[in-house]
Amino acid sequence: MSDTATSATADLKTAFDAMKDAGARPLRQSAWDAFSREGLPNRRVEAWHYTDLRAALCAVAPLRAAGPATPALARERESCRFVVLDGAFRPDLSDVSALPYGVSVLSLREALACGEAEILAALAGDAEDPTLALNAALMQDGAVLRVSPGCVLERPLEFANFISGGAARSVFTRSLVILGAGARATLLESFTPLERSGSQENHALVMVLGDGAKLDHVATIAPQSEDAVRVVSLLATLGENSALNSFCLVEGGGLLRRQIFATLSGVNADVSFNGASLLRGRDHADTTLVIRHESPGGKSREFFRHIVDESATGVFQGKVSVAPLAQKTDGAMQSKSLLLSDGASMNNKPELEIFADDVVCGHGATCGRLDADQLFYLEARGVPKPRAEALLIEGFANEALERVKDEATRDALAARVAAWLRMREAL
């Protein structure tokens, strides 16, 4: 290991020593041991081939302490919201007094202190990744939510992660949502800096869907400053006949790795992961998915649109693996990228790993520029070129946004895309 890697490891060890007694010691210790075997991933680690986290984290920032007492937190939508600020669950800022019937919430710290086996097992997850292991070793706080079986929630639940500005700090959060059998809910998830900074964030959300449960999930990752390093992971386990429809809007900012690990463990489970990313400047955004079909009759859909401008870099890695048992699996993955400048680049790596014989799986990845025929068509109708380009880019993003079922949420996402484009048009 190089000197910088050694010092990063030493800094992380200091952080681990500070966190190891904050509940669930065995879980933390085994996660730390797993992390220590490999250290921070560099490009020699296959799953991290396009994103060199070790180089980006040569200086590890100290753990963030408590956030401001009375921050001004923006609120975009009506929801039952749980706020995690600077890595700490904040009941004082959350809607804990008006929980919908059938919903219970704990902070991660409380949950770890209780040590309930079901929760600890769910929190641990089963995905293998060094940054996830690091997250489990250092997790500071988060929200743990349970929705009772059969409970149908009208009002969306929301995990809102806020990060203050100022000097660079590290934050590790882990949250959990467990949907009982037949429960239905919408979960919004947001990552928002109160002020942009070079923060180092590692967030994980674990979802456990019981048999027949249905979850709609919409995440937004707001822009951060250019020197920020963020890893945002989603782990989902799906029971029989359960369905997860997930969307994420990434607005870039520094280095971002979004990773999804989904396991379709029950028969006839159905997942759909969708997303749009808007990248400019020197943004680097990596979306990596690992979908594991472990039972028969599963269906998975992945649909991503990447818009890459200036000298930004996008990465899409999607791996769908089908276990020998998982006959009648139906999988389709699509990733399309729109490169808006010569300096923009995109790396696509779709992968299928199929061990069952009776399956239908396909994938497609394309990378292109704005279409000259479409552009001229709009211009010939009187639309000036910058606006015509914006319409086409918006249209490209819309193809992914259309997968969000709720109209109000879709409109809010479209407004963010439009705001991002206005900055481009203004240049």
CB of residue 327 vs another protein: minimum separation in angstroms? 33
CB of residue 125 vs another protein: minimum separation in angstroms? 35
Q: Which is nearer to another protein, 25 or 385 (CB)?
A: 385
15's tokens: 């952080």
284: number of Cβ within 10 Å: 24
118: number of Cβ within 10 Å: 10
CB of residue 392 vs another protein: minimum separation in angstroms? 7
Kindly list the residues in this chain that would bind another protein in the complex (CB under 8 A): 371-374, 376-385, 387-388, 391-392, 394-399, 402
Residue of 310, 309, 291, 307 whose CA lies nearest to 299 = 291
Q: How far is CA 118 from CA 126, 212, 345, in A?
A: 14, 19, 43
Return the H-helix or E-strand segment holding 335.
strand 330-339
Residue of 279, 277, 287 whose CA lies nearest to 349 = 287
Return the H-helix or E-strand segment holding 367.
strand 360-368
Cα angle 252, 256, 262 (rounded to 5 degrees) comes to 115
Q: Which is nearer to another protein, 117 or 427 (CB)?
A: 427
Q: Which is nearer to another protein, 2 or 366 (CB)?
A: 366
Inter-axis angle of helices 25-38 and 3-19, to 10 degrees?
180
CB of residue 360 vs another protein: minimum separation in angstroms? 23
CB of residue 345 vs another protein: minimum separation in angstroms? 23
Q: Which is nearer to another protein, 139 or 388 (CB)?
A: 388
Strand (E) positions, 222-312?
229-238, 243-250, 255-264, 270-279, 284-293, 299-308
Q: Which is nearer to another protein, 99 or 378 (CB)?
A: 378
Q: Which is nearer to another protein, 255 or 388 (CB)?
A: 388
State whether the Cα torsion 402-407-413-419 is positive or negative: positive
CB of residue 401 vs another protein: minimum separation in angstroms? 8
Cβ atoms 143, 110 nearer than 8 A: no
Return the H-helix or E-strand segment holding 192.
strand 184-193
Q: Which is nearer to another protein, 342 or 373 (CB)?
A: 373
357: number of Cβ within 10 Å: 8
Inter-axis angle of helices 25-38 and 130-138, to 10 degrees?
150
CB of residue 409 vs another protein: minimum separation in angstroms? 17
Q: Which is nearer to another protein, 345 or 398 (CB)?
A: 398
Residue type, 167: A
Residue of 249, 241, 251 whose CA lies nearest to 215 = 241
Q: How far is CA 178 from CA 24, 123, 147, 174, 214, in A?
A: 19, 10, 6, 13, 11
Q: Which is nearer to another protein, 229 or 388 (CB)?
A: 388
Q: Which is nearer to another protein, 355 or 377 (CB)?
A: 377
CA dihedral angle for residue 129, residue 131, residue 135, residue 136, rounded to 10 degrees: 30
Q: Which is nearer to another protein, 244 or 417 (CB)?
A: 417
CB of residue 219 vs another protein: minimum separation in angstroms? 21
Task: For residues 199 and 276, give the distance between their C-alpha atoms in angstroms, rounded to a whole number.
Answer: 23
CB of residue 262 vs another protein: minimum separation in angstroms? 26
CB of residue 302 vs another protein: minimum separation in angstroms? 18
CB of residue 415 vs another protein: minimum separation in angstroms? 14
Residue of 204, 207, 178 whose CA lies nearest to 191 = 204
